[in-house]
Structure 1
Amino acid sequence: MAILSRVINETRRRYEELLQRNPYLAQAVCWTVVQSVTDTLTVGTIAERLGARAEDLEYEPVDEDLDEYDYEMACRISQAGSSFVVFEDNGYQGTRPEILRRLSAGARVVSLFWNVNANTKLHYAVYGTVVTALRCSPMNAGARTPKRSTSN
């Protein structure tokens, strides 16, 4: 448990520093966690399930200082044990049902998206099926329960 706590704290520290250096990232983000259950996954297979080619990946040191142009249509994938974090600046791939189905083949996936208009989406997919898709927006902020998405 202590190792997991250190990994979580280190990941949190990295993202806090990232947001301090690039505060505009807090405006629109898609943050997806993929936990392998039955499939053996790699950063390359996660990229392929997102629609990219593993051979096109660029590896960057965690502590490398980045500027805003590095994030143009960028997707960052990091690994901690059998879990992967996919971080999209102003992206939404982790909210697309077809992507969630591919990412969750042999895995569990949780995806959280928000944008500058206060639209928020939470998805949970497991073994290739989108189980939960919740959408909250300023239009239904007063509702007692979030509206469940009908699209899977």
Structure 2
Amino acid sequence: MRSNARCQEVERFGWIRDSTVQEAACLTFVRATGVDPVAAGFGAVSGHARALDFGEFCEEAYAQPYPVIGLRIVGDWVLVVEDNGLQGTRPEVLTRVSARTEALSVFWNTNLSTRFSYAVGGEVRTTFEALLPEFREGTRPDALEELREGLPWSALDSGNQAEGVELMLALAARITGQPLTPTWEEGQFLTFPVAAWPEDLRADPDALERLADRCPPGVIDALRAADDRARRRAAVAVARRAAELAECADHPVISAVLASADDPVMDREAISEAVREWTWLLHRHRATSKVRNQVRAAEVLRQATHDDPLAAVCASLSAAIGIRGLDAAELSGVVEDALGRA
């Protein structure tokens, strides 16, 4: 049986059911003394900062096609608010904002999805859904088990999202020592649009199989038999062809990354930053099909920088199929030519 004290610990967050963000939000807490490094970790566009009250911030977030964040200091922590956003759940963000500190996020949306995440020192230690905390992921999935003890996770009603949100906020308060109250919406927030970080490049053990319906069997077999040097050569060849077709092969960043193809580690950071900035500009300006093609070509090159040459060629091929004017048959020929060169 739950004690009254334990019930009250969760129920004190019942006010969230009537708040402006009752249906969907992400609240991220970062132990920090200032908002600027936290905003940068989210990918904030610093030149567009605005001070808004909470209602104005939510209206701005709803109106824009890109993420918008609001920040304020709460005790020893910086609170980052997203109205119907999810950047605070992404490992690309959590690893950055927690690099020299700790961070946690509480997420829920209108699809009844929830997520609690905790990161320290640049690694996501544990992350789980409110209704299924037994299915934890991360570098140390059990990192919060002692703190979770005593909270009524097993009593959650699968159809009542609000209970899960209140429970996650109670766990957050145990970590931060700063329980949210209804007054957190009062006053000004420092707000920024966000140029979202591209997804981290990840291993895909089934990458070749995923290409089976896009490339002839001979190409798949050749990639399977090739050594890593040949695979890297093929990935770069695909990226170069995409850049040529998109008329951006001479861009300083793209040409520099292509030129570093023989290095053990290509300049992934440079091309990742370029993809992030260019994607943001697509949101800000009405782009032509040529510009969109160039952004796609930059993403092909980013995929080609994957540490694993096989993953690099498979991912770059998949991304290149989205380039206007570049079809699977031509790409297969590019790969075959690259693999065939001594």
TM-score (norm 2): 0.32
Partner of 1:107: 101
Tell me which moved more, 27-36 or 77-86.
77-86
Q: Quick one: structure 1 residues 132 and 54, their matched pair in 2 at CA, closer, same or farther if it must change by over 3 Å?
A: same
SS of the aligned residue for 1:59 comes to: strand
Q: Which amino acid aligns with 1:49?
A: G
Aligned residue runs from structure 1 range 1-152, under 5 A: 19=19, 22=20, 25-36=21-32, 41-60=33-52, 62=53, 66=56, 69-72=59-62, 73-136=67-130, 141=131, 145-149=133-137
SS of the aligned residue for 1:52 comes to: coil
Q: C-alpha distance in 1, partners of 2:57/2:108?
A: 22
Matched-pair contact (CA < 8 Å) for 2:24–2:109: yes
The structure with the larger Rg is 2
Q: Quick one: structure 1 residues 74 and 28, their matched pair in 2 at CA, closer, same or farther if it must change by over 3 Å?
A: same
Q: C-alpha distance in 1, partners of 2:115/2:51?
A: 29
User: Which runs of no fewer than 5 residues in structure 1 stay unpaired?
Assistant: 1-11
SS of the aligned residue for 1:26 comes to: coil
Offset at residue 147 of structure 1 (A): 1.5
Q: Which amino acid aligns with 1:70?
A: E
TM-score (norm 1): 0.67
Name the structure where strand makes up a greater proportion of residues.
1
Q: Quick one: structure 1 residues 51 and 67, their matched pair in 2 at CA, closer, same or farther if it must change by over 3 Å?
A: closer
Q: C-alpha distance in 1, partners of 2:123/2:75?
A: 23
Q: C-alpha distance in 1, partners of 2:82/2:100?
A: 22
Matched-pair contact (CA < 8 Å) for 1:135–1:149: no
Q: Which has the higher contact order (CA 8 A, sep 6+)?
A: 1
Matched-pair contact (CA < 8 Å) for 2:57–2:70: no
SS of the aligned residue for 2:36 comes to: helix
Matched-pair contact (CA < 8 Å) for 1:44–1:53: no
Matched-pair contact (CA < 8 Å) for 1:45–1:54: no
Q: How large is the RMSD of aligned CA atoms in angstroms? A: 2.8
